[in-house]
Amino acid sequence: MSQTFILIPGRTSDQGCGISEGKFQPKYQKQIQSLQMSPGDMQRLAVKEGDWVRLTSETGSVEVQLVSAPKDELPDGLLFIAYGDISCRLMSGDTHGSGMPTSKGIDVTLEVLASAIANTSAIANSTAKAD
């Protein structure tokens, strides 16, 4: 069963600190490969940290692990992911003349894939839809 959410990509402070160590280091990679969900939505969907989900937008589909957003920082119905390869697969290439793709308020469907399975190949298997 899939659920509809609004995805808000952005930068995190840990991502900013991690970039000084390098984009391929664990601190940075953890930030760009984790999807934050509100504790209320996690409870409603009976999912927990470490569960794998598939997000699908008009332009692509990715598989990513869930983490709980800090309490009261993300309202129910919204999802957050740090800017990176995964978030870019869900964004349209249209920049509306600004040079930056529209990256806020992306409509996505979420499908729970597996409960707390360490599926390390899921990120590598993320696929973008063909236009």
The DSSP secondary structure of 29-70, one letter per residue, reads: HHHHTEEEE-HHHHHHHT--TT-EEEEE-SSEEEEEEEEEPP
Task: Determine the Cα–Cα distance for residues 6 and 12; give it in Å rounded to an integer.
Answer: 18
Architecture in CATH of 2-117: Beta Barrel (2.40)
How far, CA to CA in Å, does 20 sit from each of 15, 23, 24, 29, 79? 9, 8, 11, 12, 26
Instruction: Taking the CA atoms of 88, 94, 97 and 103 in sequence, report the sign of the dihedral they define.
Output: negative
Asked if residue 76 lies in contact with residue 41, where contact means CB atoms within 8 angstroms, the answer is yes
Residue 89 has pLDDT above 80, yes or no: yes
What percentage of the chain reaches a pLDDT higher than 70? 66
Domain extents in the chain: 2-117
Query: Which residue did the predictor score with more confidence, 48 or 86?
Result: 48
Handedness of CA 53, 35, 62, 4 (dihedral sign): positive
**Other beta carbons within 10 Å of 27:** 14
| pLDDT tens, position by position, 18-62 | 556 666 777 777 777 889 999 999 999 999 999 999 999 998 999
> How many Å apart are CA 88 and CA 72, to the nearest integer?
26
> How many CA atoms within 13 Å lie on the side-chain side of 35?
31
CB 124 within 8 A of CB 86: no
Q: What is the CA 119 to chain-centroid distance, rounded? A: 16
